[in-house]
Amino acid sequence: MKRQKIRRALLLISFLLFPVTIWYFSPYLIIQAASEHIMNGSFIVFCTMFLASIFLGRAWCGYLCPAGGLQECAAMANDRPAKQGWRNNIKYVIWVIWIAAIVITFVLGKNDVTIDFLYMTDHGISVTEIYNYIIYYGVILLLVAPALIHGKRAACHYICWMAPFMVIGSKIGQILHLPQLHMQADRSKCISCKKCSKACPMGLAVDEMVTKNMNGKCSECIQCGACADVCPKGVIRYSFKNMTADKK
C-alpha cells in the first residue's frame, strides 16, 4: 500500500507541474517544429517514452503521467470501469493520422535539422501567457471529460496520443524477448475475490486476466502494481524478465 501512496503522490505532483510541462507532451508543437526541421521537446520526450517502454512497458502511465494524475483525481467522481472494446482503437487511429502529419510536414519543411528542447517555451516553462491558459484548460477538459463520463482513465483507453508509443515499444520488447517490466500471476493461488479488479485504476478485469494467464500481456495495463498490492493471496507480483521465459 505504501507503494500506491508514493505512486499517487508522484502522479499528483506531475499533474500540478502540468502548466510547466504541457508543451513537452504537445502533439501540435511537434508538427510545428517539424515544419522548421527542429527536434523539439515533445519529439525528444515521445522518443524517450518509446525507447523506455521496450524495457519498462507502460510504467510511465502508471507512475508519472500528468494526464494519469488528473484522471485518477477524476475517479473520485466516477470510479466505474470504462468500457473496453472498439473505443480503445480510437487512440491508434488518432496516432496514425498524427504521425503521418508529422512525417509529411517534416518532408515539406525547410532549414537544416536542429535540436531545440525548449522550443516555444519561456525559459523552459510552457504556460506563460494568458492565451496559453485557453489551450491548457482545453486540454484539461479533453482529458478529464472522458474519465468523468465513461469512467476510470477513459482518456488513456480511448484518446491518448502517447499510449500507442508505449504499446508499440512494449510489443517490440516482447517480440525481441528482451527483459521487460510486467505483472506476473500465479493463477493456482487465486480465490477469485476480485479485489484486484476493484483496485485497478485502469478498470481492467484483472481477475479474469489472472484466470486466463493474460495479465502480463494486456496492452492496457500500466504496470501500476495496485492489483499486486491489494491481492490477499499474493497472486500477482512484479517481474522484470523476458515474458516468454516467465510464463507459467
Cα–Cα distance measured from residue 219 to residue 65, given in angstroms and rounded to the nearest whole number: 17
Q: Is 59 in the site for ligand SF4 (CB under 6 A)?
A: no
User: Checking DSSP bridges between strand 236-242 and strand 179-185, what pairing results, if any?
Assistant: antiparallel
Cα–Cα distance measured from residue 205 to residue 203, given in angstroms and rounded to the nearest whole number: 7
Name which of 219, 232, 148 is nearest 192 in CA terms.
232
By C-beta, is 33 or 196 nearer to ligand SF4? 196
Give start and end residues of each alpha helix (H) in the chain.
2-16, 18-21, 29-35, 41-56, 59-63, 66-74, 90-108, 130-150, 154-158, 163-175, 195-199, 206-211, 226-230, 243-246
Q: Is 163 in the site for ligand SF4 (CB under 6 A)?
A: no
Cα–Cα distance measured from residue 20 to residue 69, given in angstroms and rounded to the nearest whole number: 15
Q: Is 3 in the site for ligand SF4 (CB under 6 A)?
A: no
Q: Is 194 in the site for ligand SF4 (CB under 6 A)?
A: yes
Residue 11 Cβ, how far from ligand SF4 at the closest point, in Å?
Answer: 12
Residue 227 Cβ, how far from ligand SF4 at the closest point, in Å?
Answer: 3
Q: How many CA atoms lie within 13 A of 19 on its CB side?
A: 10
Residue 189 Cβ, how far from ligand SF4 at the closest point, in Å?
Answer: 7
Interface residue with ligand SF4 among 70, 156, 166, 183 (CB under 6 A) is: 183
- Dihedral angle, C-alpha 20, 36, 101, 48, nearest 10 °: -50
Binding characters for ligand SF4, 198-237, by CB under 6 A (x = yes): -xx-x-x-xx--x----x-----xxxxxxx---x-x-xx-
Q: Candidates 19-27, 93-101, 168-176, 192-200 — which segment interacts with ligand SF4 by CB under 6 A? A: 192-200
Q: How many residues of this chain interact with ligand SF4, rule: CB under 6 A?
A: 27
By C-beta, is 31 or 59 nearer to ligand SF4? 59
Cα–Cα distance measured from residue 41 to residue 45, given in angstroms and rounded to the nearest whole number: 6
Q: Is 191 in the site for ligand SF4 (CB under 6 A)?
A: yes
Residue 148 Cβ, how far from ligand SF4 at the closest point, in Å?
Answer: 20
Give the footprint of ligand SF4 on residues 7-46 (CB under 6 A). none
